[in-house]
Structure 1
Amino acid sequence: MTTDLESASRTVRRPALLAAAAGLVAAAAFFAAAELGALVLGGAGSPLVAVGSAVIDLAPRGAKDLMVALFGTGDKVALFVLMAVLVAAISACAGILERSRPPFGALVFAAGGVLSLLAVTTRSGGGTWDGAPSVLGVAAAIIVLRVLAARLRRWETAASVPTAATPPASASAERRAFLVWGVTAAAAAIVVGTASRLGTSAMQAATAARRAIRLPAAATTAPAVPSGASLDVAGITPYVTPNADFYRIDTALRVPSVDPADWRLRIHGAVDHEVVLTWDELLALPLEEHLATLSCVSNEVGGDLIGNALWLGYPIRQLLERAGPHAGADMVLSRSVDGFTAGTPLDVLRDDGTAALLAVGMNGEPLPPEHGFPVRMVVPGLFGYVSATKWVTELEVTRFADAQGYWTPRGWSERGPVKLESRIDTPRSGSTVRAGEPVAVAGVAWQPHTGVKAVQVRVGDGAWQEATLADSVSADTWRQWVYRWTPTKGSHRIQVRAVSADGEVQTSVERPPAPNGATGWHTVEVRAD
């Protein structure tokens, strides 16, 4: 029969693995304590979000492009996974180091705490106490790590010296003590961390406020969507994108929680009169509805980082007129509550023909939190990185020569007009169709603020054929199109190009999204059997 001592000795033969596990439990304790501290502070100072945001801010442009290209709207989830893997590896190494050479493992956590503290305290809009969660997390991690490492060493000693002073029962007791401490600390970290993340007071307040909002009726309503705007073709993108399907690309790892009662918009800079607008004052203004297609500059040719929605808001040009921009000013630097900035041409925002809105509603309901609740900017004709600031709190009238938006110093163009583009939604590339039977080749085309007047389709090296265009509400929205094609057996290459309302033909030159938007013809390969 195996004795207790033999069992304990056999288990402790993998001390490095157990020490690594202790490091992981200490890391869990760090994040649990830090998130609890952030909860007490109303959601401020979360090291997880601050460090992730710092990674986004410091990453080179190529890294951001790669993340979006690989993961699309899941880029933030992918970043969190990569961070978790890195933190886990470092924490495991710290646990091993603390077992063999204390207190160097604890110093690893201390160094991580310093980095976290720097990330938190240097974030835009940081408060005096925002560093407290990081300090609390480091203290919890070091305590847990040192206790578990000490318990592991005691177990090793008891199991490796079978004397009267350390009988088998002693080794077994030390083993139980290590496991009890480890499991208890891990369970407590999971419970506290999860509850803290779900219970952030600021998030709860914003969610409750959004549910209670009843948006006022628009003083100026958008034209009704004609029945001819939506083609009866399976697989084609809807004319109006549901909120749940609308793409989301931004720099916010945690969706900002803003209580409308606390929201303010400040218009300042090179203006005659500084203007401050509250939520109630904004809703009291004559709001307008406008259908507009927004797209991300990171969208690849044929990509899905684009959507069309009905927006409710107040014209930005009228707020700017109230402020009175100075002569010589040519840019408005908008700022989000999380510190993101975008530089938008002043003449575009003041243009009577551009429905640039300070938006509060999306498809008939208050803005979803991930799309900017309570207030965001919507500017047809410009890529989002220079115009579509979510959770907006400031409009600073300035000059391009004096200020830059978030993405400009990271290698993106100063101005970002949306390019003429088209996309094939169906059939999908790589799909198989029936030879001799009609196939609906269909998709969408867009150039917001200019409009699309024609779409042409080419199969193989054949001539360009005119597709049938659906109706649209305005030039600011995309248009559906369809081309009826009867394939012969074999493989076929299908290409599409659009013609804008002013006669421009979509270019065939292939360019990547950086620095100001992708170009080229969307191409799919299908086989007919």
Structure 2
Amino acid sequence: MSSPASPTPARALPALAGLAAVLAGFGLAELVAGLIAPGASPVLVVGALLIDLAPVWAKELVISLFGTADKVALVVFIALVAAVLAALAGILEYRRAPFGRFVIVAAGLVALAAALTRAGASPFDAVPPVLAMVVAALVLTMLINRLRVRRAPTAATAELDRRRFLVYTGISAGAGVLAAIGGQLLTAGSRAADAARALFPLPAPSTPGTPLPAGASFDIDGLTPIITPNAEFYRIDTALSVPRIDPSTWTLRITGLVENEVEIDFAELLALPLAESTTTLACVSNYVGGDLIGNAVWLGYPIRDLLARAKPLADADMVLSRSQDGWTASTPLEALTDDRDSILAVGMNGEPLPLEHGYPVRMVVPGLYGYVSATKWVTELVVTRFDQETAYWSTRGWSQKGPVKLSSRVDVPRENASVDAGTVTVAGVAWSQHVGISAVDVQVDDGDWNPATLADAISVDTWRQWRWDWDAPSGSHTLRVRATDADGLVQTSKLADVAPDGATGLHEIRVSIS
């Protein structure tokens, strides 16, 4: 007499089959991407698509929650969504085949569309997502077939089938993980090669920068350094995978409303008289008191001199800069042709540009938020008009010109710090780019404003440190700071969000004095 049929597997086993199948497909796709199309990793292309499609509120929410770890958070989110879809595909395939495969194919088509619509896509970019889709569907079919209830199996046979299923599942998942690791190693090798290329001998500036004034920096623990180290400089951009550009193939083209189109390669750029300048850069997503701002010594060539070669037409008022990955920024032509140090930068704080900060060449424009000026991995400048062209963020609800707003920040003491009563040093930074800072005042609770001492200014294009010694009484207190620029404009207390053109308001912290 035969034994009864084995019971229907719990949801866990079909879900496990789905996860293993997707791991196998994803891992092989990562390996192939590392071999022939490093930029076509399914996770990276889908992530880039999500960044492009995300509304302003979603972008700001992610940055406010995760800061410069926003890209890591996005990758984790994609992985979690993929895991849920994989488990769902396994369950559907077991219960209602072939709907599980339909889920995999739909996800694969999304990845395929993301790969082929990204800037600089080639036919090779279609291979990884197609491979992931096909392999995952085949492995899912094989594993689910292993779970099908056989006719009147014995208990021993049922247990053997279950063990075989788990072995096949483990092999599929393990192969996927190993393949993904191989793909990452191949990509890491590419990054290492790019890092080696980045270690070219940085040319000496023909025009050295003005030495930092001896009094430009206060020696106060916890106060932001006047020059931000490269490793600590904020990074906010849309590139999930840092573009890796061979400098021997890099060129910059100046086109559009010009009398003469100009093209220059990396060797030609390095041969020009490069100059050093110290400039503060700020992200428009920097909330009041935030840290998405940094100050560096840059080495580069004035953009106005290249534009002078091109001779923009009289009706031009904007330059649309384009990154190697297709990102664009709209910069007022005036900001690139006036006396400010708007440059094509090749060096940062005495080193070649780090890969994540735009190697081999990026734009640095004082006085404008990065989303309209600081194009990394720049490859093209299109001279045009604001009424004819729009840039990446301008089409997503942000203003077109984005001048940096007068602002200030308390660095010391920290928020919610507990400090001993007596003399307490309050210190921070203030900035009003291309205008300069003339005064900073500090308020305790709702009392009078007290003038702070300013460190020496480097230039109108950099932030300025300040300090105030407070005779602090016991109790809980609120410290508030405001700055006044060189034109006499006092920082507004009116609160405004970062969208559409930068946050306003006064930074305040709470401290406990004991």
Same fold (TM over 0.5): yes
Counterpart of 1:57, as a letter, is D
Shifted more, 42-51 versus 237-246: the winner is: 42-51
Structure 1: runs of 5 or more not aligned: none
Aligned: 1:157 with 2:150: yes
Counterparts of 2:294 and 2:306 in 1: how far apart (Å)?
A: 26
Counterpart of 1:52, as a letter, is G
Shifted more, 410-419 versus 115-124: the winner is: 115-124
Q: So what's the TM-score if we normalise by structure 2? A: 0.96
Choose which of 443, 447, 451 in structure 1 pairs with 2:428.
443
Choose which of 510, 514, 519 in structure 1 pairs with 2:504.
519
Aligned: 1:464 with 2:459: no
Aligned: 1:264 with 2:251: yes
> Does the Cα contact within 8 Å between 1:202 and 1:259 map onto a contact in 2?
no
Helix, strand or coil at the partner of 1:44: helix
Question: What's the offset of the Cα at 1:120?
Answer: 1.0
> 2:277 is matched with which residue?
290
Helix, strand or coil at the partner of 1:261: coil
Helix, strand or coil at the partner of 2:11: helix
Question: What's the offset of the Cα at 1:206?
Answer: 1.9
> 1:223 is matched with which residue?
210
> Does the Cα contact within 8 Å between 2:324 and 2:377 map onto a contact in 1?
yes
Q: So what's the TM-score if we normalise by structure 1? A: 0.94
> Does the Cα contact within 8 Å between 1:293 and 1:308 map onto a contact in 2?
yes
Aligned: 1:528 with 2:513: yes
Counterparts of 2:192 and 2:31 in 1: how far apart (Å)?
A: 15
Counterparts of 1:27 and 1:313 in 2: how far apart (Å)?
A: 47
Aligned: 1:507 with 2:492: yes
Residues 167-219 of structure 1 show CA distances to partners (whole Å, capped at 9, x for unaligned) of 444333322221111111111111111221231265344223113x1111011
Shifted more, 100-109 versus 301-310: the winner is: 100-109
Residues 117-157 of structure 1 show CA distances to partners (whole Å, capped at 9, x for unaligned) of 1111111221122111111111111111111111122xx43
Counterparts of 1:302 and 1:121 in 2: how far apart (Å)?
A: 40
Question: What's the offset of the Cα at 1:428?
Answer: 1.4
> 1:43 is matched with which residue?
38
> 2:295 is matched with which residue?
308
Aligned: 1:73 with 2:68: yes
Counterpart of 2:376, as a letter, is K
Aligned: 1:62 with 2:49: no
Counterpart of 2:150, as a letter, is T
> 1:418 is matched with which residue?
404
Counterparts of 1:33 and 1:426 in 2: how far apart (Å)?
A: 50
Aligned: 1:246 with 2:221: no
Change over 3 Å in CA distance of 1:115–1:42 after alignment to 2: closer
> 1:379 is matched with which residue?
365
Counterparts of 1:526 and 1:13 in 2: how far apart (Å)?
A: 62
Counterpart of 2:502, as a letter, is G
> 1:428 is matched with which residue?
414
1:13-162 matches, cutoff 5 A: 14-153=9-148, 156-157=149-150, 161=152
Counterparts of 2:177 and 2:304 in 1: how far apart (Å)?
A: 49
Counterparts of 1:241 and 1:340 in 2: how far apart (Å)?
A: 25
Helix, strand or coil at the partner of 2:79: helix
Question: What's the offset of the Cα at 1:479?
Answer: 0.7
> Does the Cα contact within 8 Å between 1:427 and 1:442 map onto a contact in 2?
yes
> 1:498 is matched with which residue?
483
> Does the Cα contact within 8 Å between 1:52 and 1:79 map onto a contact in 2?
yes
1:169-208 matches, cutoff 5 A: 169-200=156-187, 202-208=190-196
Counterparts of 1:463 and 1:51 in 2: how far apart (Å)?
A: 53
> Does the Cα contact within 8 Å between 2:35 and 2:186 map onto a contact in 1?
no
Counterparts of 1:38 and 1:276 in 2: how far apart (Å)?
A: 31
> Does the Cα contact within 8 Å between 1:359 and 1:375 map onto a contact in 2?
yes
> 2:376 is matched with which residue?
390
Counterpart of 1:401, as a letter, is D
Shifted more, 113-122 versus 305-314: the winner is: 113-122
> Does the Cα contact within 8 Å between 1:512 and 1:518 map onto a contact in 2?
yes
Question: What's the offset of the Cα at 1:259?
Answer: 1.1
Question: What's the offset of the Cα at 1:243?
Answer: 0.7
Counterparts of 1:204 and 1:55 in 2: how far apart (Å)?
A: 28
Question: What's the offset of the Cα at 1:40?
Answer: 2.3
Shifted more, 444-453 versus 223-232: the winner is: 223-232
The alignment-based identity, stated in percent, is: 54
Residues 409-434 of structure 1 show CA distances to partners (whole Å, capped at 9, x for unaligned) of 11101111101100000111211111
> Does the Cα contact within 8 Å between 1:42 and 1:202 map onto a contact in 2?
no
Residues 328-358 of structure 1 show CA distances to partners (whole Å, capped at 9, x for unaligned) of 000000001111000000011011x210010
Counterpart of 2:29, as a letter, is A
- The CA RMSD measured in Å over matched residues stands at 1.6
Counterpart of 1:348, as a letter, is A
> 2:316 is matched with which residue?
329
Counterparts of 1:189 and 1:204 in 2: how far apart (Å)?
A: 24
Q: How many residues align?
A: 511
> Does the Cα contact within 8 Å between 1:202 and 1:258 map onto a contact in 2?
no
Question: What's the offset of the Cα at 1:268?
Answer: 0.6
Residues 81-102 of structure 1 show CA distances to partners (whole Å, capped at 9, x for unaligned) of 2222211111100001111222
Shifted more, 120-129 versus 322-331: the winner is: 120-129
> Does the Cα contact within 8 Å between 1:356 and 1:377 map onto a contact in 2?
yes
> 2:198 is matched with which residue?
210
Counterparts of 1:19 and 1:100 in 2: how far apart (Å)?
A: 9
> Does the Cα contact within 8 Å between 2:62 and 2:70 map onto a contact in 1?
yes
Question: What's the offset of the Cα at 1:13?
Answer: 6.5
Helix, strand or coil at the partner of 2:439: strand
Counterpart of 1:519, as a letter, is T
Counterparts of 1:416 and 1:257 in 2: how far apart (Å)?
A: 28
Counterpart of 2:465, as a letter, is Q
> Does the Cα contact within 8 Å between 1:445 and 1:498 map onto a contact in 2?
yes
> Does the Cα contact within 8 Å between 1:43 and 1:203 map onto a contact in 2?
no
Helix, strand or coil at the partner of 2:221: coil
> Does the Cα contact within 8 Å between 1:52 and 1:253 map onto a contact in 2?
yes
